[in-house]
Chains A and B, each alone.
Chain A
Amino acid sequence: DARVTQTPRHKVTEMGQEVTMRCQPILGHNTVFWYRQTMMQGLELLAYFRNRAPLDDSGMPKDRFSAEMPDATLATLKIQPSEPRDSAVYFCASGSPGSWSNVLTFGAGSRLTVL
């Protein structure tokens, strides 16, 4: 089965440090999403791309978060500087082309702990 690959799976860092999470979407998928999951907020949409172009990143704090797709095989989510409230599981998902289809394939997630 084709899968979405996320790295790192776990990251523990100190407040103020830069964190970069990476995602390799499924080859041929043209949409990529970043979600954050916490107990309190559930699954929140941070940003998403279509054909590598950012369509919306209004779900993430602009002053510290940034999301990019340098090429079709890599999406990145960066936090600089990190804060304890950023501790969460970050999921990347990719979707195949198709009108109105919302079938997404998720990675296993990156669990971030900021001390």
Chain B
Amino acid sequence: LAKTTQPISMDSYEGQEVNITCSHNNIATNDYITWYQQFPSQGPRFIIQGYKTKVTNEVASLFIPADRKSSTLSLPRVSLSDTAVYYCLVGDRGTDKLIFGTGTRLQVFP
């Protein structure tokens, strides 16, 4: 199965940019790489997805290098409400199963 690695936790302050990287190998060639945000007692919520290079939406940017062995979620100017756990989601090359990363707990301080 595809293997993913994310930092367990990160700390930041309000207004700073935060970059969270997910390393993933053996992912499906044609699948998008997707990121989710999860608050306590809630299900994961879609943030952004991309295939290659850079994608930007109103809340985040996603950087994916040409070899697609990693992806970096960038949150510009974080606020307290961005405190959550962030997961990457990738498709497994052999089975097409959607596999979540291990998750990164982001704590934003005032």
Contacts and interface: CB of A to CB of B under 8 A. Distances in A.
Interface of A: 4, 33, 35, 42-43, 45, 48, 56, 59, 91, 93, 99-109
B43 A102 contact: no
Interface size bracket, B side: 20 to 34
30 contacts: A4-B43, A33-B98, A42-B103, A43-B44, A43-B87, A43-B100, A45-B97, A45-B99, A48-B97, A48-B98, A56-B97, A91-B43, A93-B44, A99-B30, A100-B31, A100-B32, A100-B91, A102-B34, A102-B49, A102-B90, A102-B91, A102-B98, A103-B49, A104-B46, A105-B46, A106-B43, A106-B44, A106-B45, A107-B43, A108-B43
B98 to A, nearest CB: 6
Interface string B91-110: 10001011110110000000
Most buried by A among B33, B42, B51, B87: B42
A70 B87 CA distance: 31
Contacts, number: 60
B89 interface: yes
A94 to B, nearest CB: 11
B72 to A, nearest CB: 17
B40 to A, nearest CB: 11
B46 A35 contact: no
8 closest residue pairs by CB, A with B = A106-B43, A43-B100, A102-B34, A100-B31, A102-B32, A100-B30, A91-B43, A106-B44
Most buried by A among B33, B42, B98: B98
